[in-house]
């Protein structure tokens, strides 16, 4: 039994006088205790809406929710706002994308950390302050006592994100949702933040739902991956099979779009053509069909089912496609190459996610043989060097 079971979640925005917009249509996935589950897709595919729906942070007016989100026996979607308020921050916590705009600019960091301690753990005064300082210390913020008195604009980007993480883990939540937590950060800081998240998951047994568009982050951090397209899961698999045998043309295309250093000269990249706007309604067929290279008329016979395709051989590898890609030998994904040895060395937390930012084209050096870890690995301890504000 997974900690969180999302079953056919759908989110429809119903603005008056406008056509209803379905942002998420029937998304299902599980997040087991102590695991990192990725939700991957390009912007506009509904991944952020999914996370906000789970947190109960969507506006109540103008939004229609469907399906279930079973969190340890309670359905998050039908919970009353006040019960949800009790749950948020204590059992469920969220880390947002842009650390600067996600922190209140006119309230000191200390207050922003202690307010959650006061709310859920009943801590006040000096006790709350001490706990806040130790939280900041734990997420790798040097000189926490001074930082508590400072304002968000006085902190560097990485430190702001650490402060947000400190708030999220303040009450040891059972489920942590991270919505693109590294997108707004520099590459080196990205690696440190991912490292920190991995550590928290490993130490606390927290379940982490990682929402990202960065395949590098997925490769470095996630145990299981769900690829979202136009509001539906199109492929769900363990990390490794997904990267080695992406069966949905969209996932295949995503991996094929990553530039490689070792590619022969003149070999073109394989971008997925069009944009997420070139889509059709799922009811009419596969929403990806307009952009798909393997598109046949069968693709337009209603919504394809999410199923284990024959010929892949991996149990639990689900694909929503009529014509799945069965042979991915043409695909050479650099992402797994470096992280694999590290990731397979289980329990070794020294550099588990160091390869993560390798997805960023600028620093992909998969074939040099050197562990990228040396370049980007940031022990929380030596973070201050890069993290101190200018």
Q: Residue 278 interacts with another protein (CB under 8 A)? A: yes
Contact yes or no for 184/160 (Cβ under 8 A): no
Q: Who's near 43: CB < 8 A, 6+ residues apart? A: 213, 276
Tokens of 109: 């960091």
Report which of 180, 44, 160 is spatially closest to residue 105, judged by C-alpha positions: 160
With contacts defined by CB under 8 A, name the span among 111-119, 306-314, 356-364, 373-381 that binds another protein.
Answer: 111-119
Among 143, 293, 348, 367, indicate the residue that binds another protein (CB under 8 A): 293
Residue 329 interacting with another protein (CB under 8 A): no
Smallest distance from another protein to CB 11, Å: 16
* DSSP codes, 12-71: EE--TTS--EEEEEEEEEEE-TT-EEEEE--TTSSHHHHHHHHHT-S-STTEEEEEEEEE
Check binding of 85 to another protein (CB under 8 A): yes
Least CB distance from residue 121 to another protein, whole Å? Answer: 12
Task: Report the site for another protein in 152-181 (rule: CB under 8 A).
Answer: 153, 164, 167
Pairing of strands 36-40, 224-229: parallel
Which of 277, 374 has the CB closer to another protein? 277
Contact 201, 95 (CB under 8 A): no
Quick check: 315 binds another protein (CB under 8 A)?
no
H helices present in 205-308, as ranges: 215-221, 239-244, 249-256
113 SS3 class: helix
Stretch near another protein under the rule CB under 8 A, chosen from 66-74, 85-93, 242-250, 345-353? 85-93
Size of the site for another protein (CB under 8 A): 57
361 interacts with another protein by CB under 8 A:
no
- Judged by the rule CB under 8 A, the positions of this chain that interact with another protein are 42-44, 55, 57, 84-90, 93-94, 96, 98, 101-108, 111, 115-116, 119-120, 151, 153, 164, 167, 268, 271-280, 284-285, 289-291, 293-297, 300-301, 323
């Amino acid at each position: 039994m997974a900690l969180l079971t999302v079953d056919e979640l759908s989110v429809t925005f119903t603005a008056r006088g406008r056509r209803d917009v379905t942002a998420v249509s029937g998304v299902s996935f599980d997040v087991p205790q102590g695991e990192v589950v990725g939700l991957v897709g390009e912007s506009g595919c509904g991944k952020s809406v999914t996370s906000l729906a789970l947190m109960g942070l969507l506006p109540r007016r103008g939004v229609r929710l469907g399906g279930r989100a079973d969190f340890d026996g309670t359905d998050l979607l039908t919970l009353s706002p006040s019960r949800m308020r009790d749950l948020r921050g204590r059992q469920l916590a969220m880390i947002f994308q842009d650390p600067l705009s996600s922190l209140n600019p006119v309230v000191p960091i200390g207050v922003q950390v202690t307010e959650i301690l006061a709310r859920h753990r009943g801590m006040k005064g000096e006790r709350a302050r001490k706990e806040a300082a130790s939280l900041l210390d734990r997420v790798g913020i040097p000189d926490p006592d001074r930082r508590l008195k400072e304002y968000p604009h006085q902190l560097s980007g990485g430190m702001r994100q650490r402060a947000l993480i400190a708030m999220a883990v303040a009450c040891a939540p059972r489920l942590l949702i991270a919505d693109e937590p590294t997108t707004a950060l520099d590459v080196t800081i990205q690696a440190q933040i991912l490292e920190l998240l991995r550590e928290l998951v490993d130490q606390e047994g927290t379940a982490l739902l990682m929402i990202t568009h960065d395949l590098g982050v997925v490769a470095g951090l996630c145990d299981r991956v769900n690829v979202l397209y136009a509001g539906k899961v199109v492929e769900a698999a363990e990390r490794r099979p997904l990267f080695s045998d992406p069966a949905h043309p969209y996932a295949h295309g995503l991996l094929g779009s990553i530039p490689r250093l070792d590619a022969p000269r003149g070999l073109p990249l394989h971008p997925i053509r069009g944009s997420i706007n070139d889509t059709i309604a799922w009811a009419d067929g596969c929403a990806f069909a307009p952009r798909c290279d393997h598109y046949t008329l069968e693709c337009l016979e209603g919504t394809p089912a999410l199923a284990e395709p024959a010929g892949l051989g991996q149990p639990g590898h689900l694909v929503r496609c009529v014509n799945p890609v069965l042979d991915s030998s043409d695909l050479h994904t650099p992402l797994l190459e470096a992280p694999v040895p590290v990731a397979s060395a289980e329990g070794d937390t020294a550099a588990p996610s160091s390869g993560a930012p390798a997805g960023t084209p600028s620093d992909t050096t998969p074939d040099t043989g050197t562990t990228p870890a040396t370049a980007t690995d940031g022990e929380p301890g030596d973070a201050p060097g890069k993290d101190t504000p200018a």
